[in-house]
A and B are shown apart, each in its own frame.
Chain A
């Protein structure tokens, strides 16, 4: 295991940010800590980096107990949401920082910085200052800076959170390719389930300081352990005791045995897919996701009466954690 977190708890005053969390992260993997804000995911990441100290529990990195080690001695690279660029240093000086601190020979620093700048595609901008870069460029610089000291573990705290949607998607794909080329064990904190599913090999879903479920992105989606994971990882609706995904709701023009009548309130075109927002007989609202072709065949339009039947539902036992999504 590259990182082993054992029974870690962290409190800020009365607030329990991380509540008895244990988590193992495999070498060379790219793991996402996914959760809403305040779920403790960033605190957990900062504990791994040594920027916060756990009140209880311990952390080991590559088999070595790191609980008492300061951040300087953990061999971690950390990337912050707001870049934490050294504004008075050029891009080159930023990337060279860790090597200069380690007093490496000048030639070695030059070669290594050149190599890293090529890796993050900033060769032409080496002499610029951070204020002259775009957000995406700054974050790539921060990544190169974190990689310079050859960390054993790379920790990314909402790295794309401050960027606009398009740049975020580009950087996400780029990060995935980078990880395949330079397979450093990476932990990514995000509140964006799409980002977690897109980039990570494994996802740990966090809520209220606890890890709700850990698994491959697809497993979490297909087999959520509880209502929170069901509702946080992908869209979901509650129908009676059961939970259902919008694409697991069959929509027909004619009634059929177990189907329920519903009125189409709104039709939303999302490119290839169409989302129909429906009102059931009893007034509950659900949405159904169908392909464009299906929508055309059904001639979906507002005010239409359709018949729906869930093709697949998830039922959780009553001990499931309370949650605010629906």
Chain B
């Protein structure tokens, strides 16, 4: 009993010291002087644009990575081809590479002087120091989450349910949408939450490809840095709180979805063995 309590204490203490305390402090310092300055800081055109940009980028990057992630997971789990390890490794590469390196790599390819950038600029598409580049960078760094969360559940459910659906007359597409997708939905959901969190919080890669032009190519994270370096602490704290709130909303959304699902969470394979 004592051992279990001390374990709990250690876990909570660790989280409190590293996470809850500093984040709480940010909230406290933000609202120290009342709501007025916070409201003013949050409603400057630059701050509003940064919030909008962060949400917009997430709205593009998350669906893209969700669809790609599920397809990629299907290929990794069910595909039978040589070089599957290579695909696997490529997906993990985005985990392993520092975002700054990813940003730099994108710059080398898409900048006006880059491989591909000149051609794009000639056709009227600016990638670097513009929204397309920021979206690309965000997709890149938040790519592996849906794949990594979906692969284990997909592997666990196997192909039998889908095959059963086929023999019952469902086309492969119907079987996927009505049988497989619901069966892996929690893996995907969790992947989406992580992707969203990563997309919202991305700094390094976006900072290189965006050029951080206030009011134009500045996301919330870049805005925090810019305000902080400009000694506008209220502005920096306010943007930080907005980031924290976006993360909380994402988590809350998942929790609500989970509560409403039919069949509850009891579809883990563990309880099968107990019967």
Shortest B141–chain A CB gap in Å is: 32
Main secondary structure, interface of B, reads helix
Give the most central of B168, B261, B262, B272: most A CB within 10 Å.
Answer: B168
Task: Known contacts A131-B267, A134-B275; decide if A84 and B169 are in contact (CB<8 Å).
Answer: no
Within A64-97, which residues are at the interface with B (CB < 8 Å)?
Answer: 70-72, 74, 76-78, 80, 82, 84-90, 97
List the A side residues contacting B267 at CB < 8 Å: 87-88, 129, 131
Task: Known contacts A82-B160, A131-B263; decide if A88 and B182 are in contact (CB<8 Å).
Answer: yes
Report the Cα distance A51→B162, complex, angstroms.
11
Report the Cα distance A223→B105, complex, angstroms.
75
B214, CB-defined interface residue at 8 Å: no
Report the Cα distance A233→B267, complex, angstroms.
39
Closest to B272 in A: A131
Main secondary structure, interface of A, reads loop
A21, CB-defined interface residue at 8 Å: no
Across chains A and B, the number of contacting residue pairs, with CB separation under 8 Å, is: 84
List the A side residues contacting B183 at CB < 8 Å: 86-88
Task: Known contacts A101-B174, A149-B168; decide if A84 and B160 are in contact (CB<8 Å).
Answer: yes
Report the Cα distance A78→B168, complex, angstroms.
8
Give the most central of B164, B183, B185, B271: most A CB within 10 Å.
Answer: B164
Are A97 and B275 within 8 A (Cβ)? no
A253, CB-defined interface residue at 8 Å: no
* Cross-interface CB contact of A135 among B164, B169, B179, B275, cutoff 8 Å: B275
Give the most central of A74, A76, A131, A146: most B CB within 10 Å.
Answer: A131
Give the most central of B165, B261, B263, B264: most A CB within 10 Å.
Answer: B263
B254, CB-defined interface residue at 8 Å: no
Contact with A along B258-273 (1 / 0, CB 8 A): 0001111011000110
Interface size range on A against B: 20 to 34
Contact with B along A125-168 (1 / 0, CB 8 A): 00001011111000000100110110000000000000000000
Within B141-187, which residues are at the interface with A (CB < 8 Å)?
Answer: 160-161, 163-171, 174, 178-179, 182-183, 185
Are B263 and A101 within 8 A (Cβ)? no
List the B side residues contacting A97 at CB < 8 Å: 165, 168, 170, 178
* Cross-interface CB contact of B166 among A51, A88, A129, cutoff 8 Å: A51
Are B169 and A80 within 8 A (Cβ)? no
Are A76 and B167 within 8 A (Cβ)? yes
* Cross-interface CB contact of A80 among B164, B174, B266, cutoff 8 Å: B164
Report the Cα distance A98→B175, complex, angstroms.
11
Residues of A within 8 A of B (CB): 49-51, 70-72, 74, 76-78, 80, 82, 84-90, 97-98, 101-102, 129, 131-135, 142, 145-146, 148-149
Task: Known contacts A84-B161, A86-B179; decide if A146 and B266 are in contact (CB<8 Å).
Answer: no
Are A71 and B163 within 8 A (Cβ)? yes
Task: Known contacts A72-B170, A72-B171; decide if A78 and B163 are in contact (CB<8 Å).
Answer: yes
List the A side residues contacting B261 at CB < 8 Å: 88
Within B26-75, which residues are at the interface with A (CB < 8 Å)?
Answer: none
List the A side residues contacting B167 at CB < 8 Å: 49-51, 71-72, 74, 76-78, 146
List the B side residues contacting A74 at CB < 8 Å: 167
Are B263 and A129 within 8 A (Cβ)? yes
Report the Cα distance A104→B264, complex, angstroms.
29
List the B side residues contacting A98 at CB < 8 Å: 168-169
List the A side residues contacting B182 at CB < 8 Å: 86, 88
Are B170 and A84 within 8 A (Cβ)? no
Report the Cα distance A149→B182, complex, angstroms.
23
Report the Cα distance A146→B164, complex, angstroms.
9
